[in-house]
């Protein structure tokens, strides 16, 4: 068994449409260790996060964080996501305020 610690999602500005941010490899599973969002805009911003099975689509049945609001110049560390396991092909999808939030996710890929 090989464990690779890595940025599952390198830092980036989030999109306003439902967007796949990370796909677990088809030959491995992933564990989320941290997920962070920082509001860099001049208004309150919101983010929703889904953890979706490989054959699924983002929706209410896999919504983990629902429209969490982050204050101006604030950071949120999403304890709701820490420890979640993504099986091979599963993915993280987000929806929120575009160009307002910088997001990053780190974890482990196990193959």
pLDDT of residue 1: 86
The mean pLDDT of 59-68, rounded to a whole number, is 98
What's the pLDDT band for 103 if we cut at 50, 70, 90? very high
Is the whole-model pTM more than 0.85? yes
pLDDT of residue 97: 93
Instruction: List pLDDT tens digits, range 24-49.
Output: 999 999 999 999 999 999 999 999 99
Q: DSSP string spanning 42-82? A: SS-EEEEEEEE-TT--SSGGGEEEEEEEE-TT-EE--TTTT
What's the pLDDT band for 51 if we cut at 50, 70, 90? very high
Q: Which domains does the chain have, with CATH numbers?
A: 3-110 (2.60.120)
């Amino acid at each position: 068994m090989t464990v690779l610690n890595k940025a599952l999602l390198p830092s980036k500005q989030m999109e306003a449409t439902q967007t796949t941010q990370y796909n677990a490899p088809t030959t491995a599973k992933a564990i989320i260790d941290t997920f962070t969002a920082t509001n860099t805009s001049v208004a309150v911003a919101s983010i929703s996060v889904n953890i979706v099975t490989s054959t699924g689509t983002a929706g209410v049945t896999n919504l983990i964080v629902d429209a969490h609001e982050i204050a101006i110049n604030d950071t949120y560390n999403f304890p709701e996501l820490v420890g979640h396991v993504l099986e091979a092909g599963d993915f993280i999808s987000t929806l929120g305020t575009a160009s307002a939030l910088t997001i990053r996710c780190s974890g482990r890929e196990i193959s």
